[in-house]
Amino acid sequence: MVRKKLFDTSALIAGLVKSHPLYTWSALRFAQVHEGDVQGFICTHGLAELFSGLTTNPQTRYKPAIAEAIIERLLEKFKVVDLGSDDYLAAFARAKNLHLSGGAVYDILHAQAFLKAGADSLVTLNAKHFLRLGDDIASRVESPLERS
């Protein structure tokens, strides 16, 4: 059975930028997707975050055309989880219930896509952002960094 993993923007950037300190860790997870051992997922708003990150990251500052080409190539292997208005409302409800505001909603949207995809793990370099989102998320965070 193929495992399903949703990658957040931090893990995607690390797996695409060879000079990133956690490139090897993320690249190994990318390899699982490329070899067909894992079905990789990205949420729709994560695509915009990825484009933004690739074009502004101090290590890359790719031109928009290069960032677009990288994302198009990535999408040959990764499946996009589309979030609709019901998903956004569910994310807002989770934020309300957990007393989270501001930028936390972006992590919650990744988490919502993770749940919608029925993924086994949420791959991130920002474990602490997801560990606060409830047991249904926290128990399936995959990160090379501390889980506290």
Residue 1 has pLDDT above 80, yes or no: no
Instruction: Supply the mean pLDDT for the chain.
Output: 94
pLDDT for position 146 = 66
Tens-place pLDDT, residues 98-134: 999 999 999 999 999 999 999 999 999 999 999 999 9
Q: How many Cα atoms sit within 13 Å of 49 on the Cβ side? A: 17
- What secondary structure letter does DSSP report for 99? T
Please state, in angstroms and rounded to a whole number, the distance separating the CA atoms of residues 56 and 64.
Answer: 10
CA distances (Å), origin 62, targets 28, 53, 71, 126:
23, 9, 12, 23
Residue 62 has pLDDT above 60, yes or no: yes
Per-domain residue ranges for the chain? 3-136
- What pTM did the predictor assign? 0.93
pLDDT for position 53 = 93
Mean of pLDDT values over 54-74: 92
CATH top-level class for 3-136?
alpha beta
